A and B are shown apart, each in its own frame.
Chain A
Amino acid sequence: QSALTQPASVSGSPGQSITISCTGPSSDTSDYAYVSWYQQHPGKAPKLMIYAVNNRPSGVSNRFSGSKSGNTASLTISGLQAEDEADYYCTSYTSSRTYVFGTGTKVTVL
Chain B
Amino acid sequence: EVQLVESGGGLVKPGGSLRLSCAASGFTFSSYSMNWVRQAPGKGLEWVSYISSSSTYIYYVDSVKGRFTISRDNAKDSLYLQVNSLRAEDTAVYYCARVTGAYYMDVWGKGTTVTVSS
* A interface residues, Cβ below 8 angstroms from B: 1, 3, 33-34, 36, 38, 40, 44-48, 51-52, 57, 87, 89, 91, 93, 97-104
Contact = CB atoms under 8 A, between A and B. Distances in A.
Question: Chain B interface mostly helix, strand, loop or mixed?
Answer: strand
Question: Chain A interface mostly helix, strand, loop or mixed?
Answer: strand
Interface stretch (B14-22, B23-31, B76-84, B98-106): B98-106
Which bucket holds chain B's interface residue count? 20 to 34
Interface string B86-118: 000000000101001111111011110000000
B103 A34 contact: yes
B106 A48 contact: yes
B44 A99 contact: no
B46 interface: yes
Interface in B25-58: 35, 37, 44-47, 50, 57
A42 to B, nearest CB: 11
B57 A99 contact: no
B114 to A, nearest CB: 16
Contacts of B103: 34, 36, 93, 99
B102 A45 contact: no
Contact of B111 (A45, A52, A99, A101): A45
B95 A45 contact: yes
A91 B61 CA distance: 14
Contacts of A57: 106
B62 interface: yes
B108 A100 contact: no
Contacts of A101: 37, 44-47
Contacts of B101: 51-52
B102 A91 contact: no
Contacts of B100: 51
Nearest to A102: B44
B104 A51 contact: yes
Contacts of A99: 35, 47, 50, 103
A99 B49 CA distance: 9
Contacts of B109: 45
Contact of A97 (B46, B57, B97, B105): B57
